[in-house]
A and B are shown apart, each in its own frame.
Chain A
Amino acid sequence: MPPPKARRSDTDKALIEAAEAALDLLYDQYFASTALDQLLLKPQIEQAAHGVLKARLLLLAPGTIAVAADLKEANRIKDAIGQAATAQDTVIAAARLITLLARFA
């Protein structure tokens, strides 16, 4: 009987890092926004933070969270948030992040 894995896969760690980097960008945009745009971004940011927390909780238990395709998608979303020109673009990109992280329930 093989012992449980001692170390988490690099993909899992990289996924959390990409999701956190995307959340960093969301917060950066929030704190740089007007009060009106902040109101638009607020609910999305809380949901994205919730997704990051959920993924982090999975890191605490043995098993695998993500595959390479998930990581690719997380990086694409991070880029989309970074390139968002308006608060509405950010909301759309944040929704993609929330959907991706919801997969890892």
Chain B
Amino acid sequence: MGARRSLRKSLLISLAATLLLLGGCTKDKALALKAAAETFRDRSVSAIDNYQNLMVTGALGEAQPEAQQFQEVLAQLRAKGAQGRLTSADALAALGSIDARERQLDFVRGKLSELRTAYVAFAASLARLPEGSFLAGDAVACAAGLGVRLTRRMMDFAQASQDKPVRYQQRLSRAVGDLNRAIAAKNESDIQRAVGELIETRKAERSDNAAATAMFVGAIDAGMRTVTLAQSYGQLSVEDLLSGLNQILEIRTATLGMDSSKAMERLATFRTKLEQDPALKPILAIPLNEPIPACKGQ
């Protein structure tokens, strides 16, 4: 009797261990996929935030130091005031440049907020995966469908940033204005300073555009790998998923500092891979705000 009880006990322990092990595996897999999705979200949102700053800096320049703002407003209002009584409209025109950059940044941020939210929603759709659910498999399939399209949007951004790099227009014109005044005044040190600023402007433009493209490519890389993990989630082992996650986490090191031609080579490879995948190609045509047919009602 004692031996039978002992056998039964050891069988139960073994079954529980197996179940725990299986449960643990599923949870580890879910955690790995969740972490991959969150990394994709973070890379994408950072790349978008960085690019919106770059675009606004290109069109409106860097934020001016307060002393410089004050001098500019002072000179303009003094000149206008010398012509007659100042009006509120004069003051508003003079003050406009103080927060122009912030206003335009808010505008661009607003325009891109829906897209940013889509990346957050993508990661959120997998947030409860490790808790386990009968619908987990569906959630992963649906997330893969959204992930493909979000990756594709990063490709659009990367392509646009490469096709039409942002130019530091305001900064360049300011330096040209300084140079013209220095030449007219025959002030050699100011001439040299202004030419130095022109060269710095061009260098900053190139490096900031290259960094923006590299950030997009890093996000695309994370997106492609996350989608691949989600697509084969059922068949992958915990080790496969952890290795996939590890690759995603190593992307940052690989993409930062990457030169533009290398970044574009990677972009072309990713684009071909995405657009030639028979399972993914039809999904690309579905708008971001619509679920893929299999996920309607999710």
Q: Mark A residues whose CB is within 8 Å of B.
A: 1-4, 6-8, 13, 16-17, 20, 23-24, 27-28, 30-32, 34-36, 38-40, 42-43, 46, 49-50, 52-53, 56-57, 59-62
Task: Write out, one digit per residue, whether chain B residues 96-125 have a CB within 8 A of any chain A CB (1) or not (0).
Answer: 110010011001100110000000000000
Tell me if B167 and A20 are in contact (CB < 8 A): yes
User: Is B163 within 8 A of A39, CB to CB?
Assistant: no
B203 at the interface (CB under 8 A from A): no
Chain A residues with Cβ below 8 Å from B93 are 39-40, 42-43
Nearest neighbor of A49 in chain B, beta-carbon distance: B59
Secondary structure type dominating chain A contacts:
helix
B202 to nearest A CB, angstroms?
14
* A58-B242 Cα distance, complex, nearest whole Å: 38
Residue pair A35, B76 in contact (C-beta under 8 Å)? yes
Distance to closest chain A CB from B123 (angstroms): 21
B24 at interface (Cβ–Cβ under 8 A)?
Answer: no
Complexed CA–CA distance, A53 and B110 (Å): 13
Contact A6 B180 (CB under 8 A): no
**Is A4 touching B285 in the complex (CB atoms < 8 A)?**
yes
CA distance A4 to B281 in the complex (A): 10
Decide if B59 touches A23 in the complex (CB within 8 Å): yes
Q: Is the CB of A20 within 8 A of B169?
A: yes
**Contacts between chains A and B (CB distance < 8 A), count:** 112
Nearest neighbor of B268 in chain A, beta-carbon distance: A6
Instruction: Name B106-156 residues within 8 Å CB distance of A.
Output: 107-108, 111-112, 152, 156
Segment with Cβ contacts to A, from B14-22, B36-44, B170-178, B221-229? B170-178
CB-CB under 8 A from A52, the residues of chain B are 59
Interface pair A56/B164, CB less than 8 Å apart: yes
Q: Does B160 contact A (CB under 8 A)?
A: yes
Distance in angstroms from A14 CB to nearest chain B CB is: 10
Interchain CA distance A25-B108 in the complex, whole Å: 23
A12 to B172, CA, bound (A): 24
Is B75 interfacial (CB 8 A cutoff)?
yes
- For B111, the chain A residues whose CB sits under 8 A away are 57
Q: What 10 A-B pairs are tightest by C-beta distance, nearest first?
A: A31-B177, A27-B173, A35-B79, A35-B75, A36-B79, A49-B59, A39-B76, A59-B160, A35-B76, A46-B100
A25 to chain B, nearest CB (A): 9
B76 engages A38 (CB within 8 Å): yes
CB distance from A57 to the nearest CB of B (A): 5
For A35, A50, A59, A62, which residue has the most chain B Cβ atoms within 10 angstroms? Answer: A35
Q: How far is B100's CA from A27's CA once the two chains are assembled, in angstroms?
A: 15
Contacts A6-B275, A24-B169 known; list 16 others, CB within 8 Å.
A1-B282, A3-B275, A3-B284, A24-B172, A27-B169, A27-B173, A28-B177, A31-B178, A35-B80, A46-B97, A46-B103, A49-B104, A53-B104, A56-B59, A56-B166, A57-B108
**Residue in B80, B103, B169 whose beta carbon sits within 8 Å of that of A36 in the complex:** B80
Asked if A56 and B55 sit within 8 Å, CB to CB, the answer is yes
